[in-house]
Amino acid sequence: MKPQIGKSLNFKRAKLPLKKKLAGKYSFLEPINIQKHAEELFQNLSKDRLNRIWTFMPEGPFKKLSDFKKYLQKKD
């Protein structure tokens, strides 16, 4: 069960961004590539032993990389 973090809102889903790479002066954002990104992303998300990062996520935490990959595939 996730903790209550504030008042409920009348949520309306935003449009998804275009799947293109955005480059800045010091960094870039690119669409997720499950084969390229999933393992490292899973490892970094798993470092939070108290699972606080998942408070603001719609699903998770994930105990296994395979479950995390399935989640990403559903969202892709």
| pLDDT per residue as tens digits for the range 18-72 | 899 999 999 999 999 999 999 999 999 999 999 898 888 889 999 999 999 999 9
pLDDT of residue 1: 60
**Tally of structural domains, the chain:** 1
Assess if residue 68 is contained within a domain.
yes
Rounded CA-CA distance 38/35 in Å is 6
Q: What is the span of the domain harbouring residue 48? A: 33-75
Which of 43, 38, 64, 66 shows the shortest CA–CA distance to 53? 43
Assess if residue 27 is contained within a domain.
no
61 vs 7, residue with greater confidence: 61
Residue 22, strand partner residues? 29
Assess if residue 14 is contained within a domain.
no
Confidence of residue 2 (pLDDT cuts 50, 70, 90): low
pLDDT average, residue stretch 11-22: 90
Assess if residue 4 is contained within a domain.
no
Rounded CA-CA distance 5/15 in Å is 24
